[in-house]
Chains A and B, each alone.
Chain A
């Protein structure tokens, strides 16, 4: 489909529906983040601030997982920041698709900074799935805004619920490994990915008794060395 007046309304509706549906699904993930963050020791405001300002799920889960286990500020920060590096890579991919408006003019800096906050897994997947430029931009902005609303709302509800319940008796701490396990399969499709994952897990378990809490997570990043050879 070309990027002229033949722009198809049916196609646009398909993209909007898919983006809103994803937003709804992510709201559920946010519920479990709110619960897990509170069970790890955050208060409701802290859980909500993480979702609003950090706004990148895996890093948020990672930071609270290390904090909950008794890790230091540096260890909790290091693992979460490493996970956030992929948003830098997504930014490179999305810049060519999102930085300009329909007539090819560069968006104002403020709009691009706002867009940058929304550069995450889900928006990248939805945006790159569309090859037509206008559909691509629609996918980005609808996914971004619906996700931002549901992610923050879900976190608030989950954190409020978590602060009222006996999180340990209900097994809420098990939300952490389950959430990470659910995020993992997308990264195991290649042999390289599976080797990196196996190495990460083994290194983490092997080092845990010998290094401060959370540091084993940082060292587990050596698994990326499987990417050195083509």
Chain B
């Protein structure tokens, strides 16, 4: 997020609570559906392959969104420096906290210099 985006939160606190309740119910519902309701059955192979790819597609999309977009604009700012550092840290198999702190430090540094 850059400056505009920091103040861009559209949801009121009540709506954010609504989102939390909705997401919690659906997340628990999906867990129960698989673990308790459907149980140890196998899904059709094609469906299994497609479902297994959801995290790859969405996590990569989220990386792109959180680095190169601000609301509906494409931007290149200090966050790109953070991502470069994060990718190097992930590449070097750094622990999660090192990846996150290094990315935050790089972003803060570039913002400070700008």
Contacts and interface: CB of A to CB of B under 8 A. Distances in A.
Interface string A134-178: 000000000000000000000000000000000011111111111
Nearest to A217: B61
A136 B105 CA distance: 40
Q: Is the interface of B mostly helix, strand, loop or mixed?
A: helix
Contact of B32 (A113, A174, A182, A198): A113
11 contacts: A84-B23, A85-B51, A92-B39, A170-B108, A177-B103, A178-B103, A182-B99, A213-B8, A217-B65, A223-B57, A223-B60
Interface of A: 25, 28-29, 31-32, 39-43, 46, 49-50, 53-56, 58-59, 61-63, 65, 67-73, 76-77, 79-92, 94-96, 98-99, 109, 112-113, 115-117, 119, 168-185, 187-188, 192-194, 196-205, 208-213, 216-217, 220-228, 230
Given A46-B13, A95-B36, 14 more contacts: A32-B100, A49-B24, A65-B66, A70-B9, A87-B27, A92-B43, A171-B106, A177-B86, A178-B86, A178-B103, A180-B60, A187-B53, A223-B61, A227-B49
Interface of B: 1, 3, 5-6, 8-11, 13, 15-24, 26-28, 30-36, 38-43, 45-46, 48-74, 78-79, 82-83, 86-87, 89-90, 95-97, 99-100, 102-109, 111-112
